[in-house]
Structure 1
Amino acid sequence: MDYKASQEYLLAKPETICDYPFGADVEVYKVKGKMFATLSFGKGNEKGTQGKMAGFYCMNLKCNPEEALMLRDIFPSVIPGYHMNKAQWNTIILDGSIPQGEIERMIDNSFMLVVSKMTKKDQQSILVHL
């Protein structure tokens, strides 16, 4: 999954907007004001990533802690969430090594984890569009 396909898939989620609270280099995707993904270009100097992100777009996605660890074991391009709570967020390096369907599943999961913490009213206004 490349940058453009990622961007389109993220924005296709109901009531999702793209915001830039961390500056122009980091796209933050929110549903009803709650962040469920970030998308940025890896420069290679990201502390603690051993340069793995260099030259690739990277996406941070929310994940339950058990699944986060499992995905890191399965895919070398899934690492603990850069600048995030590493127990609940993964960084996905969009280097082409992870099938698009799996990335879409991870995005869907992140979106639903955030929606599940909303009020019933907000949940219903989103879920009616799925």
Structure 2
Amino acid sequence: MNIEQVQEYCLKKKGVTEEFPFDNDTLVFKVLNKIFALLPLQSWESGQAAINLKADPDYVIELRENYSSIRPGFHMNKKHWNTVYIYEDKVSPKFLKELIDHSYNMVVKGMTKKMRDSLQ
């Protein structure tokens, strides 16, 4: 997937917005103001595309053990976040979408019932 496809996929999800809260290089996707994905634009421009995604702590470990292109989240809480290095061509578009979905769902799951209901 290219950056536009990732961006489009994230923005199709309910309640999602995009912004640059940290700097002009890190595009952040939020669901109801909670981060679920970060795209370091410089990595895409340099040909080393990466995305930071949240995951269940057990799944975080499983992913790292099974995929060399998935490593502890760069500048993130290593217990809950992974950096997925897309440029290594070991992450199919289908699998990347599954990882994005998992991250989104993890964030939504942690919200209050009222917040979750507002997404319906």
**TM-score normalised to structure 2 length:** 0.91
For 2:104, the equivalent position in structure 1 comes to 111
Deviation digits for residues 20-67 of structure 1, max 9, x if unmatched?
Answer: 011110001001111011001328xxxxxxxxxx63221100011111
In 1: Cα distance, 2:4 partner to 2:69 partner:
18
Q: Percent identity?
A: 37
Deviation digits for residues 87-111 of structure 1, max 9, x if unmatched?
Answer: 1000011113211111111111111
For 1:55, the equivalent position in structure 2 comes to 47
Corresponding residue to 1:79 among 65, 71, 75? 71
> Which residue identity lines up with residue 43 of structure 2 in the other structure?
G
Structure (1 or 2) with the greater helix fraction: 2
**TM-score normalised to structure 1 length:** 0.84
Residue 27 in 1 paired to residue 19 in 2?
no
Residue 101 in 1 paired to residue 102 in 2?
no
RMSD: 1.4
Instruction: Please say if residues 62 and 90 of structure 1, whose CA atoms lie closer than 8 Å, have aligned partners that are also in contact.
Output: yes
Matched residue count: 117
> Which residue identity lines up with residue 106 of structure 2 in the other structure?
L
For 2:61, the equivalent position in structure 1 comes to 69
Instruction: Please say if residues 61 and 92 of structure 1, whose CA atoms lie closer than 8 Å, have aligned partners that are also in contact.
Output: yes
Moved over 6 A (4+): none
